[in-house]
Amino acid sequence: MRKLPHKFLFFSCLFVIPFFYCKKQIDFTATVAHQHLPELSLRASSSKIVLYQSNAKLMAVRFDWGYIGQTPADAIYYLLEFSLKEDQFANPIEIALGSSVAAGFTVEEFNQLMHKIIEPGDGGDVIARIKYMRQVTYNNLKKLTGEEIYYSDPILLQVSTYRNIIQYDAPNYMTIPGNYQSWNPLLAPRLVSKPGEKEYEGYVYFPIEYPQFLFIWGNQWSDFTFGHIGNKKFGFGGTPLSIFGGKGFYLVRASTNTNTWSYEKIKSWGISGTALGGQLSKDKDIEMTPDPANECIWRINVNLIEGEFKFKANNQNNIVFGNKWPAIDHIPDYDADGIRINKSGNYTIELDLSIPGNYLFHIHLNRQ
């Protein structure tokens, strides 16, 4: 019998062994990638979450989750999702959690998070779920298929949020007692300034035709009191400051940097922008209506399309509110970018200027 040369046998082994080794590796990877992950269950420490600003630093809610059955040996990546119940995760909030199997939120944190889907001070039914996948899958998101992403069953939460109110302490506020409210400094409207800026403002409704008042740096007559000293200036020992535009809604400003003050009557608030579509006339904004019980709150019900809008006073560009990036705080900002509308529909919009230094707007999509 003829024997094969030793060199031939040696090189044949070198060829055959790697071939089977590589094939085994490919099969193993394919098997792992398509093995289903077990079902996961999400739990919350409470299903009814009422948030109060006074409890801002306390724990509001804690979430944890576990597998129904055997825990997978692979590294798993988790995301916690929230949505209004009526939206059914159409555009959910996502919180990336990595490999963590629990997440907790303080009252302040959860309130800010919920304001992405619930208007400040309002409540709603919120659903939450866990989105999970293998870490190797998450690292290759561009190659994902629907079979590689898993979700827990949703849980229902009843959430009540609060409107965050910034407190302005002396010397960052002035009161303006006057004849329109019986000269009572404790109940007088306030003008406020950001700390250190010494530029004060507030929106005030004067219910009489000839309003007069004084500025008090505080809320007691024993505090520093300023009156009119001529040439739009205020100072010690002056006479009462006067409004000559009659009763109505005014923006009042005062500066202790220059000791000057000013006022402007707001006859109307309106909205203007691309979200109005063809509803705008050439020289006219869509006007809002003041609340009969509070002249510092204005509302409108209007059809909007995808686009943006701004609030404008007196159908002019002197006093204009938009919203600065990241535009999730519902706070109107002067001369900022337009407020974005991402979905066409009928909306109720509210501009609330009743609390100095805490202006707010609400945008509510009315469900059909």
Q: Are residues 46 and 147 in the same domain?
A: yes
Beta pairing class for 307-313 and 339-341? antiparallel
DSSP 8-state assignment for residue 188: S
Q: Which among 265, 285, 318 is the end of a domain?
A: 265
Q: Summarize pLDDT for 21-32 with one digit per residue, the tens.
A: 333 333 333 334
Which residues 6+ apart lie within 8 Å of 232 measured at CB?
260, 261, 262
Q: Summarize pLDDT for 129-141 with one digit per residue, the tens.
A: 999 998 887 777 6
pLDDT of residue 137: 73
The pLDDT confidence band at residue 11, using thresholds 50, 70 and 90, is very low
Residues shown for the chain = 368
pTM of structure? 0.80
Domain of residue 52, residue span: 40-160
**Cα–Cα distance measured from residue 176 to residue 204, given in angstroms and rounded to the nearest whole number:** 10
pLDDT of residue 182: 97
Q: What is the CATH number of the domain that holds 180?
A: 2.60.40.10
Higher pLDDT, 51 or 280: 51
Residue 20 covered by a domain? no
Query: How many C-beta neighbours within 10 Å does residue 196 have?
Result: 8
Query: How many C-beta neighbours within 10 Å does residue 289 have?
Result: 12
- Mean pLDDT score of the chain: 88
Q: Summarize pLDDT for 145-192 with one digit per residue, the tens.
A: 556 899 999 999 999 999 999 999 999 999 999 999 999 999 999 999
Q: What is the CATH number of the domain that holds 319?
A: 2.60.40.3620
Q: Which among 160, 189, 223 is the end of a domain?
A: 160
pLDDT of residue 47: 97
Buried b (16+ CB within 10 A) or exposed e, 298-317: bbbebebeebbbbbbbeeee
- Cα 322 to Cα 40, 136, 198: the distances in Å are 43, 42, 23
pLDDT of residue 143: 57
- Kind and range of the H or E run holding 16: helix 6-33
Number of structural domains the chain divides into? 3
